[in-house]
Structure 1
Amino acid sequence: MPHDTRNVLLASATALLDEGGVEAVTLREVGRMSGVSHMAPYKHFHDKESLLAVIATREVERLGHMIDHAADAPDDLGGTLHSVLHSYVSWALEHPVRFRLIYCGPWTRPRRELEEALGRTSERVTDVVRRCQRGGELAGHDPERCTCLLLAAAHGAVQLRLAGHPASAGDPDVVVDDLLGLLRSPR
């Protein structure tokens, strides 16, 4: 039962987060929304930041699974990286509060679990970059640096869009496609 309560608390907190941002998530409100006492969340989470860190880590893990799915979908390696990056952009635009929580959260101390999950997700993208390089679709640049460049461009374009800049400032999907075009192996 405690594990079920924890999952209910996390689901309630995620709903509050999506509806009202980080400010809307309080342990008292999470307890009320979950149908438990206002003290019950404290049995599972040290504080609000700990709760948010679990949500962020779970979301990064979910994003990693989405990347795996996108990487396995197409047969064409060049299309694989395209699918992975566009899945990332779509996720970020569909879940802007979760996106901001992960990358700009209210972290007052290092969150090892979140950092490790981000590292694993980045490595998943790097694996796709390596596959594309081996298949001749991408130039043979350092795969980790290439991944960093790709994610930074996608991340930055998403940030611009979420901040309300017009599409002409850099539509995230177009930015990804342009960068992939620049990184393609010369034929």
Structure 2
Amino acid sequence: MTQTGRYHHGDLHDTLLQEANTLLSEQGVEGLSLRKLAERAGVSRTAPYHHFRDKNALLCALATQAFQQLDEMINRQLHQAGSQEGIQDFVREYLRFATENPEQYELMFGRTIWKSGEPTDELKTIAYRSFRHYAERLATLLAGRLPARTDSLRVAQASWATVHGLCRLLIDGIYVNREDIETVSEQSIALIMAALSQPSA
């Protein structure tokens, strides 16, 4: 039996993604290649190409997987309309996910795929869907609380941009240290909660 023969097709695909995530965390995008992935998974050098056409396809698959985790987080934390605790838990978990998985987060939102690469249709679908779910759930939470003529979509974009900006600062280590994560998280939650508490005009 060949090394590849140890795996069913679906099992090998999952194994390759798991090993690719490990390589990505250890060596970054530059250190990830299909050849290294084959060596890490213990399969022939051609085996990964049956699942990923090239490195761009592999990176898109990793980003897609990360967006699926984000979408699950959104649905889990924000599923209860009117729950401010859901917002608090979501922001904390979002910051934690980004800072514990900086390479994956960079793939999700960085230049490697969206500007320098070629995002797959699957990646674009899950990326847009995850934000749509966030915007829809936030709109439900904000119902009756926003000043007149305020666009809930713009509020969703602004609040997400705030959290995303904090993630970038934390990941890049520009202005804050990792031990400040909880403090920064609490401040970002306070800002969002202040916006949510504004009565309708």
Q: TM-score, normalised by structure 2?
A: 0.82
Contact 1:31 1:38 (C-alpha < 8 Å) held by counterparts: yes
What is residue 162 of structure 2 aligned with on the other side? 153
Percentage identity across paired residues of the two chains: 26
The more displaced of 103-112 and 23-32 is 103-112
Counterparts of 1:89 and 1:79 in 2: how far apart (Å)? 16
Counterparts of 1:160 and 1:152 in 2: how far apart (Å)? 12
Q: How many residues align?
A: 185
Partner of residue 66 from structure 1, selected from 73, 80, 89: 73
What is residue 182 of structure 1 aligned with on the other side? 195
What is residue 96 of structure 1 aligned with on the other side? 102
Structure 1 residues 167 and 43, CA gap change in structure 2 (3 angstroms)? same
Contact 2:91 2:185 (C-alpha < 8 Å) held by counterparts: no
What is residue 9 of structure 1 aligned with on the other side? 16
Contact 2:82 2:141 (C-alpha < 8 Å) held by counterparts: no
Counterparts of 1:94 and 1:17 in 2: how far apart (Å)? 13
> 1:180 corresponds to which letter in structure 2?
M
Counterparts of 1:137 and 1:87 in 2: how far apart (Å)? 25
CA RMSD of superposed structures (Å):
2.4
> 1:132 corresponds to which letter in structure 2?
L
Structure 1 residues 38 and 129, CA gap change in structure 2 (3 angstroms)? same
Q: Which runs of 5+ in 2 are unaligned?
A: 1-7
Between Structure 1 and Structure 2, whose CA radius of gyration is higher? 2
Q: TM-score, normalised by structure 1?
A: 0.87
Counterparts of 1:155 and 1:34 in 2: how far apart (Å)? 33
What is residue 83 of structure 2 aligned with on the other side? 77
Partner of 1:171, secondary structure, is: helix
